[in-house]
Homo-oligomer: A and B are copies of this chain.
Amino acid sequence: MREFYTITELTREFEISTRTLRFYEDEGLIAPVRRGRTRLFRPADRLLVKQIMRGKRLGFSIAEIRDIIQMYKAPQGEAGQLQKIVDRVEEKRGELRQKRKDIEETLAELDAVEEACVNRLAEMRVTS
Cβ of A57: which chain B residues have Cβ within 8 Å of it?
59, 98-99, 102
Cβ of A118: which chain B residues have Cβ within 8 Å of it?
86
Residue in B closest to A125 when the chains form the complex, CB atoms:
B79
A113 CB–B CB distance under 8 Å: yes
Size range of the chain A interface in the assembly? 35 or more
A11 CB–B CB distance under 8 Å: no
Task: State which residues 73-104 of A face B: CB under 8 Å.
Answer: 74-76, 78-79, 82-83, 85-86, 89-90, 92-93, 96-100, 102-103
With A86-B114, A103-B103 in contact, do A120 and B59 touch (Cβ < 8 Å)? no
Contact: B113 with A85, CB < 8 Å?
yes
A124 CB–B CB distance under 8 Å: yes
Query: Can you pick out 12 interface pairs between chain A and chain B where the beta carbons lie within 8 Å of each other?
Result: A51-B109, A54-B105, A58-B58, A58-B103, A75-B116, A78-B124, A79-B121, A85-B113, A92-B110, A96-B103, A99-B99, A100-B103
Cβ of A106: which chain B residues have Cβ within 8 Å of it?
54-55, 58, 68, 92, 96
Residue in B closest to A120 when the chains form the complex, CB atoms:
B75
CB-based closest 5 A-B pairs: A59-B59, A75-B116, A54-B102, A82-B117, A75-B120
With A72-B109, A96-B106 in contact, do A85 and B54 touch (Cβ < 8 Å)? no
